[in-house]
Amino acid sequence: MSEHHHQNPIAEPQVILELIRYDRSAYAKYTDLSVDDLLLQINPGEVNWINLDGLNNQTIIEKLQAHFQLHALLIDDVLNDQRPKAEEYDEYLFFTLKMLYRIDESGIDYEQISFVLGRDYLISFQEKEGDLFDGFRERIRLDQGKVRKKQADYLLYRLTDIIIDNYYNVLDKIGEEIESIEDDIQANPANRSFNRIQKIKKELIYLRRTVYPLRDALNKIIKGESEFINDENIRYYADIYDHVIHLQDSLDIYKDLTSGLLDLHINTLNTKLNEVMKVLAVISTIFMPLTFIVGVYGMNFENLPELEWQYGYYGTWGVMLLIVGGMVAYFKRKKWF
């Protein structure tokens, strides 16, 4: 429906379609099939995980849509930037969230991943090639852990858990950056630090948008008594829910810490200004009276008796030293040095 917004630019033509099919005893993986052939390999008795990397091949998506009777609005949500959310349809559960990557200094990379969980299948839609699941695919193949003994809803749990766990890595890097900025402010000129603070703040703003709606989405799954999630697995989703709240707490803490950094930065700036002004005031207060005095005896009056005194010059120095001493004592008492 509706000509939507925020279409994610998808330039690379590479689209990868993959099916992993397993149960307790069997395992199969299909990667280079056409979408029609791949759909033929789906076996209702087993868990069928269909993964699509790249969303720009309309034919594939339309065939998936037709085969699984996916609602037009769901496809819309898969193709467009979406808040994380869970939605129950008659035939499947739809769940979309963001995968995070922290590639380098230039910031966090977001990728939307959407899941459609049916009774015996799970479809995952990713925007780009490459994900966090390679190690886990290997665990399925080698039958490690419980995954081969469980249904598709447990598979969805494990994938979600892997995604959320990776959030912690990103947050840890932000935590380190915050500490590094703090050191930076105290050691170095201020302007660069300010830009780093602003950058962290922006990242936190976007992260919050990614994490907060997840709470509602997971709550919907836990409370919703969806028929696609077995009761015994609800506790696993509740565990992810706890992680998400933990992440929220961390984001709130980081937000507070970052605003503390801003205070620190401003305080450093102000303290420096105060210091500069003190130097200026001290110098002016000491030298202005002195310059005045030497100016007095630089006047050319014919009748200026001190000029003729034997020790006038030395007396002037004496007076000036007294003034300097007085000033220094005054500033000491005022704690200006």
- Asked if 233 touches its own copies (CB under 8 A), the answer is no
Considering Cα of 148, then 150, then 152, then 156, what sign does the dihedral take?
negative
Going edge to edge, which strands form the sheet with 85-88?
Answer: 27-30, 16-22, 47-53, 121-126, 107-117, 93-104, 85-88
Among 260, 318, 325, 326, binds its own copies (CB under 8 A): 260
> Of 107, 130, 189, 318, which lies in the binding site for its own copies, with binding defined by CB under 8 A?
189
User: How many angstroms separate the CA atoms of 306 and 238, rounded?
Assistant: 94
Among 26, 28, 66, 280, the residue binding its own copies under the rule CB under 8 A is 280
Does 71 sit near its own copies (CB under 8 A)? yes
Handedness of CA 318, 324, 326, 329 (dihedral sign): negative
- The answer to whether the CB of 123 falls within 8 A of the CB of 50 is yes
Q: Which of residues 105-124 bind its own copies (CB under 8 A)?
A: none
Segment 294 to 313, residues that bind its own copies, using CB under 8 A: 294-313
Is 3 a binding residue for its own copies by CB under 8 A? The answer is yes
- Does 101 interact with its own copies (rule: CB under 8 A)? no
Using the rule CB under 8 A, which residue among 26, 40, 73, 142 binds its own copies? 73
| Cα distance between residue 206 and residue 203, in whole Å | 5
Q: Is 266 in the site for its own copies (CB under 8 A)?
A: yes
> Which of 16, 194, 215, 230 is close enough to bind its own copies by CB under 8 A?
194
Show contacts with its own copies in window 239-258 (CB under 8 A): 239, 242, 245-246, 249, 253, 256-257
Smallest gap from Cβ 61 to its own copies, in A, equals: 18
User: CB of 30: closest distance to its own copies in angstroms?
Assistant: 27
* β-pairing verdict for 27-30 and 47-53: unpaired
Q: Kindly identify the residues of this chain, within the stretch 12-51, that bind its own copies according to CB under 8 A.
A: none
Smallest gap, in angstroms, from Cβ of residue 185 to its own copies? 11
CA–CA gap between residue 279 and residue 214 (Å, rounded)? 55
